[in-house]
Amino acid sequence: MIGRIWRQLIFLPTLAWNVLLGRVLTVRKWWHRIDDHVVLGALPFQRDVPALEQLGVRSVVNTCIEYAGPDEAYRRHGIRHLRVPTVDFAPPTLEHIDASLALMRETAAAGHSTYVHCKAGRGRSATVVMCWLIEQHGMTPAEAQRQLEAIRPHVNHQLDQRSVVREFYQRHLQRQGS
Q: Examine the residue annotation and report whether 118 is marked as an active-site residue of this protein.
A: yes
Instruction: Tell me the C-alpha distance between 26 and 110, whole Å.
Output: 33
- In 93-173 the beta strands, taken as DSSP E runs, fall at 113-117
* 3 state SS of 172: helix
**Residue closest to 102 by CA, chosen among 64, 66, 135:** 135
Q: Using DSSP bridges, classify how beta strands 113-117 and 38-41 pair: parallel, antiparallel or unpaired.
A: parallel
The catalytically annotated residue of 49, 118, 159, 164 is 118
Q: CB-side exposure of 31: number of CA atoms within 13 Å?
A: 26
Q: Which amino acid is at 85?
A: P
Q: For residues 85 and 67, what is the distance between their CA atoms, to the nearest angstrom?
A: 9
Three-state DSSP state, 113 = strand
End-to-end CA distance of the chain: 43
**What Rg, from alpha-carbon coordinates, does the chain have?**
15
Catalytic residue annotation: 118
